[in-house]
Amino acid sequence: MLEIRNLHASVDGNPILKGIDLTINKGEIHAIMGPNGSGKSTLAKVLAGHPSYEVTKGQVLYEGKNLLEMAPDERAREGIFMAFQYPIEVPGVSNAQFLRLAYNEKRKHLGEEELDPLEFKDLLKERAKVVEMDASFMTRSVNEGFSGGEKKRNEILQMAVLEPRLAILDETDSGLDIDALRIVAGGVNLLHNSENAVVLVTHYQRLLNYIVPDYVHVLAGGRIAREGGKELALELEEKGYDWITSSVAASGIGASRVT
């Protein structure tokens, strides 16, 4: 589904990603972990197409197509979704209006009939159950006045409506209390199936107790420093990131500038 080859990316001329290779197949859950500044959020934003991140080298193929040539909205309509660490507030536009707009953009793209407000209301009611959100959230402006946990649940609601093939969750666990974490993780588990893939970008192992990854990749200094199964996350929890970064430095593959 997604093939990342030797990906290099910079922000304002500062190189952040320095050669990422990663392959993601449908049905898989991947966790991208790493210390602050290792480049994990940058990787998420590059995949979603943030204009501030410049790809300087490498290739990303999504379903065989050159992802890097596609605008962010085009990527979204092609089935890529990113849940934001800090979701944006959109005053004056209700959650229901926003979701229907996004949903219909995708339908149009796929050559399907758009749903009218009534049809969409039924669909939304169904999908909202995934994250245990009640109807009052639908008439409120997108994320406006939402608590941190509500914003994250709203991100997963968007995922539930848009049904992406590749969902990238950027630090979705940050700032969540245990109940909200359980709801958000439960939602992701419900939405995951053999036809889609999930990428979890996270600093902590905690989320992985709820959403169990097939693969764990640890980033350090803009490269993948270590890869393994879910047990790697547990090992990290125990030993900390210093263990990875120092071993990377010792092995001489260039993570010495990690801060």
Partner 1 sequence: MSLIVKQEGVYQAAFRLLQQRTAGNNAAWFARLRESAMDRFEQLGFPSIKEEEWKYTNVAPISKVNFEPVVGSDKSEATLTADEVTRLGYVEAQASQLVFRNGVLHSDLGSLTGLPTGVVAIDLAKAIADEKYGELIREHLARSADYNANAFTALNTALSSSGAFVLIPKGISLESPLHFHFISDPVEPSAAAFPRVLIIGEENSRATIIESHASISEATYFTNAVVEIVLKDGARLEHYKIQRESADAFHIATTSADLGSNSRYNATTINFGAQLSRHDIAVKMANEGAECWVDGLYVVGGAQHTDTHSVIDHQQPHCTSHQLYKGILDGKSRAVFNGKIFVRHGAQKTDAMQTNKNLLLSNEARVDTKPQLEILADDVKCAHGAAVGQIGEDELFYLETRGIHHNLAKNLLTYGFAEEVIAKIKVDSIKAQLDEAVLNRINARLEA
Query: Given the rule CB under 8 A, which residues bind partner 1?
Result: 48-52, 71-73, 75-77, 80-82, 84, 87-88, 90-94, 96-98, 100-102, 105-106, 109, 117, 120, 141, 158, 162
**DSSP per-residue string spanning 187-200:** HHHHH--TT-EEEE
| Whether 176 contacts 184, CB under 8 Å | yes
**How would you label 197-225 residue by residue, b for 16+ Cβ within 10 Å and e otherwise?**
bbbbbbbebebbebbebebbbbbbbbbbb
Whichever of 120 and 137 has its CB closer to partner 1, that residue is 120
CB of 66 to partner 1, least distance (A): 18
Whichever of 94 and 209 has its CB closer to partner 1, that residue is 94
Burial group, residue 149, by CB count within 10 angstroms (0-12, 13-18, 19+): middle
CB of 116 to partner 1, least distance (A): 8
Whichever of 117 and 240 has its CB closer to partner 1, that residue is 117
Which two structure tokens, joined as six digits, stand for 254?
A: 């260039």
CB of 101 to partner 1, least distance (A): 6
Whichever of 117 and 229 has its CB closer to partner 1, that residue is 117
CB of 143 to partner 1, least distance (A): 9
Q: What is the Cα–Cα distance from 230 to 250, expressed in whole angstroms? A: 24
Question: Which residue in this structure is represented by tokens 């449908």?
Answer: 26
CB of 82 to partner 1, least distance (A): 5
Whichever of 27 and 87 has its CB closer to partner 1, that residue is 87
